[in-house]
Amino acid sequence: MKRIVGLFTLFLAMTLVCCKSEKRTAENPFFSEWNTPYGVPPFDRIAPEHFLPALERGMSLHDAEIDAITSNNDEASFENVILAYDNSGKMLAQVELIFGMLCAAENTPELEKIQEQAAPLLAAHADRILLNEKLFARVKEVYDRRAALDLDAEQMRLLEKTYKAFVRAGALLDGEQKARLKEINEELSLAAVKFGNNIRTETNNYVLMLTNEELDGLPAGVREQAREKAAQLGKKDRYAFTLHKPSLIPFLTYSSKRELREEIYKAYLNRCNNGDEFDNKQLINDFIRLRTEKAHLLGYPSYAAYVVDDEMAGTTEAVYGLLDEVWTPALERAKGELAEMEELFRKDVPDGEFASWDWWYYAEKLRKQKYALDEEMLRPYFSLENVQTGIFFLANRLYGITFRPVVVPLYHPEALAFEVLDADESHLGILYFDYFPRDGKSQGAWCGNYVEQTYEDGKRVAPVVSVVCNFTRPTSNAPALLTLDEAETLFHEFGHALHFLFHDVRYRGLTEVEGDFVELPSQLMENWAFDPEMLKQYAVNYRSDEVIPQYLVDKLRKSKLFNQGFMTTELIAASLSDMDIHSMTEYEPFDPEAFEREALTEKRGLIPQIEPRYHYPYFSHIFDGGYSAGYYFYTWAAVLDKDVFEAFRESGDLFNKRIADDFRRKVLARGGSADGMTLYRDFRGKDPDKRPMLRARGLWNGPDPVDTLAVMPAPAGATPVESVPVK
């Protein structure tokens, strides 16, 4: 039970905050209970000016809740310390979720200013709690007596994760070290905001405006998209191409104007690297300087070592071991792909040299030559509506869940909302989709929560989940027709959404999973995207209602390894550059371009015709996206997702409901209630096998290798196993 003094402190804090501005309190939707359908945020009432007061109140309430824990004179217990801590800060967490999601999906200059104000305040608040000596003393008191507390497995997991979170946040440091760590965290939070805003600005600022005579090679649909974009910009007789992927990639793929391909691709590659106010090179130095110092304070040789210590991989050596194993055969395969394309290139440019901006164009030519397959002939079968229908069909076939459109508040008119119903028609959650590029939206695709799954008074609070993408827009004469990559991306993000929707976790502190486990549910869904039986269910020509013909399905199947060398090489290149820059043991000012060149070209032989998927100045994942020293997650998780899919293949039924239900119960529903490897072994009954991943990328043709990824020791208290895999 909390002491009276704790309750009084909480009441006093609430009173003081409420008295600051009665008018603002009355109008701010965060300060009252939501009377919205299904508990979705009241987007129709939320305005930018509401966030800072709501964040401030959330921090004040959280401080009071922490004070109630530390001022309690009763013996520290799981209930009055660990559970009380897990239940604290709910208002702040809710406001932060909405604020963060909107800043990514629907940012404005006003929100950007609020971000810059809020980021250091939130960082300082987190440190104020995680570096609270009285709070940590009570957490440690419970932790030290854990063996005698008769806790169940989830309670023990929550206790251990809570204790470790405090230690990793610096709870064991002395006063001077803690003060410096707080400064570092505040600086890093502000640097992340500036970095992301610079990328968004640079991306939006570039437009390649062309005349009709400069459109050679571009399909009609691509031209129409560009014409409508130009009209939006007030240029009715022009065609506008931007650095957003739905505009950039088709241009690189089809434009026969090599000099224009070079211009737009260089603009993409040089974002935030132009020596102007949006240049990110100094921020990159700041990140590495601060992160390296933080790692040293916390007892790690490098920031990469600090990050990976808390992931499935466990060590940077394990990460490099996997990346290096994939790098060599991928690069060799890419060189073979280049040799084939150079034959076509020589016919067009006898005296020129094949460059990175030529890859998409000649890859598409080669695909037509080898497989008589043109992505433009496929796009009519992949309308956005049909692909969405496909993922709904798959979820129903595997898990029995259904989706129905609902009328709820939207944060943007283009967003769609669905209620997700379980097999017994009970409410699972709400799922938003937001498909198209906008100036206020960050690039890429992601999935996140507006409301997290929790338990209140013993009842499950259903999550509110959002899938955000940047897909090809519809035009005046055609619906949104997706590329194969866009279709696969929707399957991927939908996998994340299922993970959130299926969560059934008792404690808030057990919702998150390891970073290199989080991509398993998403990448697993990709395996069904172009399966022949799946294609017959959703790939329907939007004009004729014709189901995709078998000859096209066969072409897709035969071409599934096409260009895999390139795609894997650019992915691993970015993963290696991320690990390398975060593996610095001592910081000295450096030129990011030179560092990357040495790491990839000079050290590992990356060919100039392939750029890493991201260069440092716009590598949002690792500087403002939560994947610092973690871009390897996708490759690590690929080992897991391909091995899980093998379970379906081995059963002879890719829609095996028993296996799907097993995966839902043992993995998706459990969140982080056990470590990732324990969850994986519980489902699969064995360590993950690398061979399916290597085969899927065309990187293994010989006899089977030693196939488990032995990377990490069994977690404390786990049953020993003879070999330990990775993800």
Residues known to be catalytic:
493
**637: Cβ–Cβ under 8 A, 6 or more apart, which residues?**
516, 517, 518, 519, 520, 523, 727
Residues ≥6 apart with Cβ < 8 Å to 670: 504, 505, 679
CB within 8 Å of 350: residues ≥ 6 apart:
none
590: Cβ–Cβ under 8 A, 6 or more apart, which residues? 285, 288
Q: In this structure, are residues 564 and 697 in contact, taking their beta carbons and an 8 Å threshold?
A: yes
Amino acid (one-letter) located at 703 = P
Cβ(688)–Cβ(313) under 8 Å?
no
Name which of 686, 703, 377 is nearest 556 in CA terms: 377
Is residue 438 packed enough to be buried (19+ CB in 10 Å), middle (13-18) or exposed (0-12)?
Answer: middle
The phi, psi pair for 76, rounded to 5°, reads -60, 135
Contact 265, 603 (CB under 8 A): no
**What's the CA gap between 140 and 134, in Å, rounded?**
10
Which are the contacts of 132, defined by CB distance < 8 A and separation ≥ 6? Answer: 66, 70
| Spatial distance between the Cα atoms of 337 and 329, rounded to a whole number of angstroms | 12
Question: Which residue from 708, 678, 680 is spatially nearest to 692, judged by alpha carbons?
Answer: 708
Q: Hey, is 420 helix, strand or coil?
A: strand
Burial (CB < 10 A; 0-12, 13-18, 19+), residue 357, is buried
Counting beta carbons within 10 angstroms of the beta carbon of residue 277, is it exposed (0 to 12), middle (13 to 18) or buried (19 or more)? exposed
Cβ neighbours for 489, distance < 8 A, ≥ 6 positions apart? 445, 469, 471
* Closest to 90 in 3D by CA, of 121, 57, 137, 52: 57
Q: Nearest 5°: CA angle at 140, between 136 and 142?
A: 120
Distance CA 493, CA 466 (A): 9
Residue 9: which of 82, 75, 60, 58 has the closest Cα? Answer: 60
Amino acid sitting at position 67: D
End-to-end CA, the chain: 42
| Cβ atoms within 10 Å, residue 443 | 17
User: What ranges in 169-273 are assigned the alpha helix state H?
Assistant: 175-205, 220-232, 245-254, 258-269
Do the beta carbons of residue 269 and residue 202 sit within 8 Å? no
CA distance 283 to 269: 17
In the block, tokens 């640097």 appear at: 191
Nearest to 286 by CA among 190, 427, 144: 190
Which helix (H) or strand (E) is 518 found in, with range? helix 515-518
Strands, E, within 435-527: which ranges?
Answer: 446-451, 454-456, 459-461, 464-468
φ/ψ bin of 702: left (φ > 0), alpha (ψ from -120 to 50), beta (otherwise): beta
